Structure 1
């Protein structure tokens, strides 16, 4: 297995000589070099931005989803294999020219395009992977890791999956979420030497725990477990001190795991046959089920009660959901028609619909996205949620430009 090239610079020297940060990106963040027609994608963000996580400079709060950057991609682009999204078959993946993905952490954000990623927000603990702990208020290109397929952001840490199926983590390691068996901070990306065989095909993380799915469908978890079972390990294997610093296989899932997503105190998994196991998932008919802690309405059942067994979210039962996301105490779903629904904690306007109560217990459609005159008609592709902000990628199907000449 080959290692992904890393460009490292000593963090002490960077601080001593005040080395400049990576270059800021313009509004047109990426323009494909592939000849032929292209499609336009927009990156939008909303919610609280005091730590720079919205990517638009110094700002306190953004009420409506607003464009941060645009991308010009070939028609053959696809979403990167992020958590919560079923990966296409090998034949479809092999034909893809460029991949794109987004992720929100506690107070930081990232955008992945064609093996490179931009990152911004709060830098405490080294979570930006730039070799320092500085705040960054606009997207900057991280030059310390390339050949990346997906980036997932946690509370005070971050993780990335490379094209070679290797996992890298960085940031604060006090909860074991970095997977290095040590609990100090990492200012630069460091490879995780997991016990898995083969390659990792999907990666997820949250505030204090992480999960990875292998190409053979095995699930591994590591990080913090405070007795709530978020790691999916039985009592005899759960860490006595609540911390598990190395990836451990979840044997309770004997079926091929296709997708995984981590919430604040829970984990959701989806098997390739559409069956639901342990923490939660999405059936093959596009119905969304959830259970666990529901104190902020994040389960979407029109209640703040906890739910101990899987229950279909009635408000979405007539929709075919293609993408799910959760972060902190909020949740979201994107339908196959490009509609975006959100629910849960709305205190910092992270649901993107002004006027909602602080606790939104049922899904609400972010309708103004479809009616935005500046963006024009468009289709929501993906969504990511942090503790107090959110981002989404939208496609303008009608905006095709032929650059072959």
Structure 2
């Protein structure tokens, strides 16, 4: 997405989704202009589906949503842009000049969710450990504006903690601090967003996290990691793990073994994957299911490139618990790692030790990918959403699927408001048992 912004904006923020009258399209959560304004706008919906036993679906109650259902509606300027997501190379237009543009993004954690709009974020779901950042451990069942951090550029939710990157290049973390996941040199929980103080001398440009480890990239391409290592080498800092509990590092440390600068990173369950600006993948960590794509099942803490992809230019990577996806600049998707529940998108559910193209998507031009714990998703250039993998908790958004959905299936949307036009999916995030997407609801093309 590449958009320019209005120079003057009249902002209208609602603190929670419950604060506005609910309608079929979802309550209006954010608008760039007053309701009486005739300023040109784009209508974007936030939809969720899957298991919401902890309120992570944002509908105000514990529930299961079998298909994508509205959480909130956003009235955005027509020149909005998508916020940075972990693993995605920055587009040529997404530089510092974009500071004045309205950015929007979503993130799914294990049992919580977040929505980012123009530097502010709403967060909801399970609250224990302080992962919502409100100063307590209470759960929230509707999107609730967090007033404790502003100027946010990207949000990445983990298992029982949360991370944020600000527009000024600072990293904040909060939630359960076990295994050093927060990077604060201590292991207790943080109920409010707290600045990560580390040895990097530059601004942070990219941030990713997973269940228990986190990675950050500086503006010059240096990679720092922290959190749980447990001897599997997922931090890339050496063999045997770190000095903390369960072999953890609670202080961000530079990955000196990585010999090239990188521009994007993702954190899998027990491995890490980084992407260079010219589209080459390096990875390290656990490999018992072929997660590293090296053709074997040998874990290795030392960063190495995936040699079989050297002739591809990768523009986005995504990591699940035990599997990965890669998106090429030609719109093809490759997958590898654990094949259980059909998460790789092949007819077989066997593990795959080297990246292979998902032939079931070969007829589409894919522009965005995402991984959940045991499921996967892809968006086409026409705004169609495909999902595959574990369907046990309805997290694929298609009712009636078998628990193992090995091949990609298109997610269909209900036309609850014909005046809004067709659904054009622009972003998706997948958690362990739920998912969210952003849908442009205007007849104009993106």
Normalization by structure 1: what TM-score?
A: 0.86
Where does residue 409 of structure 2 map in the other structure?
364
Q: Give the whole-Å Cα distance in 1 for the aligned partners of 2:200 and 2:264.
A: 17
Where does residue 43 of structure 1 map in the other structure?
46
Where does residue 28 of structure 1 map in the other structure?
28
- Paired residues for 1:146-161 under 5 Å: 146-161=150-165
Where does residue 15 of structure 1 map in the other structure?
none
Equivalent pair of 1:276/1:282 in contact (CA under 8 Å): no
Mapped pair 1:326 → 2:371: yes
What is the CA-CA distance between 1:322 and the residue it aligns to?
A: 1.9
Please tell me the root mean square deviation across aligned C-alpha atoms, in Å.
Answer: 2.4
Relative to structure 1, the CA distance from residue 197 to residue 287 in structure 2 (aligned partners, 3 Å threshold; closer, same or farther) is farther
Equivalent pair of 1:52/1:121 in contact (CA under 8 Å): yes
Q: Give the whole-Å Cα distance in 2 for the aligned partners of 1:236 and 1:264.
A: 18
Q: Give the whole-Å Cα distance in 1 for the aligned partners of 2:158 and 2:123.
A: 13
Where does residue 9 of structure 1 map in the other structure?
none
What is the CA-CA distance between 1:105 and the residue it aligns to?
A: 0.7
Greater CA deviation, 174-183 or 43-52?
Answer: 174-183
Where does residue 168 of structure 1 map in the other structure?
172
Q: Give the whole-Å Cα distance in 1 for the aligned partners of 2:41 and 2:443.
A: 10
Mapped pair 1:246 → 2:290: no
Where does residue 348 of structure 1 map in the other structure?
393
* Equivalent position to 1:52, from 46, 55, 77: 55
SS of the counterpart of 1:398?
A: coil
What is the CA-CA distance between 1:159 and the residue it aligns to?
A: 0.6
Q: Give the whole-Å Cα distance in 2 for the aligned partners of 1:76 and 1:92.
A: 15
Greater CA deviation, 253-262 or 237-246?
Answer: 237-246
Where does residue 397 of structure 1 map in the other structure?
442
Equivalent pair of 2:241/2:248 in contact (CA under 8 Å): no
SS of the counterpart of 2:342?
A: coil
Relative to structure 1, the CA distance from residue 101 to residue 358 in structure 2 (aligned partners, 3 Å threshold; closer, same or farther) is same
What is the CA-CA distance between 1:141 and the residue it aligns to?
A: 0.6
Equivalent pair of 1:261/1:325 in contact (CA under 8 Å): no
Where does residue 293 of structure 1 map in the other structure?
338
Mapped pair 1:212 → 2:216: yes
1:130-179 deviation per Cα after TM superposition (whole angstroms, max 9, x unaligned) = 00001111111101111111111111100111010100000001122111
- Paired residues for 1:5-404 under 5 Å: 24-26=18-20, 27-33=27-33, 36-89=39-92, 94-95=97-98, 96-235=100-239, 241-278=246-283, 279=292, 281-366=326-411, 368-369=412-413, 374=418, 376-398=421-443
Q: Give the whole-Å Cα distance in 2 for the aligned partners of 1:229 and 1:294.
A: 22
Relative to structure 1, the CA distance from residue 37 to residue 177 in structure 2 (aligned partners, 3 Å threshold; closer, same or farther) is same
What is the CA-CA distance between 1:399 and the residue it aligns to?
A: 6.6
Equivalent pair of 2:223/2:255 in contact (CA under 8 Å): yes
Name which structure has the greater RCO, CA cutoff 8 Å, separation 6+.
1
1:279-303 deviation per Cα after TM superposition (whole angstroms, max 9, x unaligned) = 5633332322232233232222333
Relative to structure 1, the CA distance from residue 333 to residue 72 in structure 2 (aligned partners, 3 Å threshold; closer, same or farther) is same
What is the CA-CA distance between 1:233 and the residue it aligns to?
A: 4.1
Greater CA deviation, 48-57 or 305-314?
Answer: 305-314
Q: Give the whole-Å Cα distance in 2 for the aligned partners of 1:339 and 1:85.
A: 19
Q: Give the whole-Å Cα distance in 2 for the aligned partners of 1:213 and 1:222.
A: 12
Q: Give the whole-Å Cα distance in 1 for the aligned partners of 2:416 and 2:262.
A: 38
Q: For this pair of structures, how many residues does the alignment match?
A: 378
Normalization by structure 2: what TM-score?
A: 0.78
Structure 2 alignment gaps of length 5 or more: 1-14, 21-26, 284-291, 293-323
